[in-house]
Amino acid sequence: MSPFSLIVYELALSIPEGTVVTYGDLARAAGGGAMASRSISSILGKAPNQRAIPWHRIVYAGGKVWLTPEHEKKRRALYKREGIIVDAKGRITNFEDVHHSFD
């Protein structure tokens, strides 16, 4: 892994339960530029321990979550358990409260 990729991976693993970060948050915290957020999924998809990554805590800008029919039920259960409220359209309604900052 490149130094940037390693930082992204370590940051992803450090996202506290009950909080979310955006792809942009991860990219900026790892020292990437404006376009680096587009590479986060690819970087984490090549990471050594996929099961350790809290994918549900990494969301799109503004609190939009990624829900596919295959994973929606499981993800919604994880969000509910962690106190993250997701509406029917896949948006986190308490985004401001659960948005984690690496600052």
9-23, 32-46, 82-96: the lowest-pLDDT one = 32-46
The CATH number of residue 64's host domain is: 1.10.10.10
Domain count, the chain: 1
User: What pLDDT does residue 64 have?
Assistant: 97
Inside any domain, residue 103: no
Instruction: Fill in the amino acid letter for 63.
Output: G
Spell out the residues 6+ positions from residue 28 whose beta carbon is closer than 8 angstroms to its own: 36, 37, 102
Inside any domain, residue 71: yes
Inside any domain, residue 32: yes
Contact 66, 56 (CB under 8 A): no
Contact 59, 24 (CB under 8 A): no
Inside any domain, residue 23: yes
pLDDT tens digits, residue range 22-42?
A: 999 999 999 998 799 999 999
Inside any domain, residue 58: yes
Containing structural domain, residue 10: 3-98
Report the distance separating Cα 73 and Cα 68, nearest Å. 9
Inside any domain, residue 86: yes
pLDDT tens digits, residue range 59-81?
A: 999 999 999 999 999 999 999 99
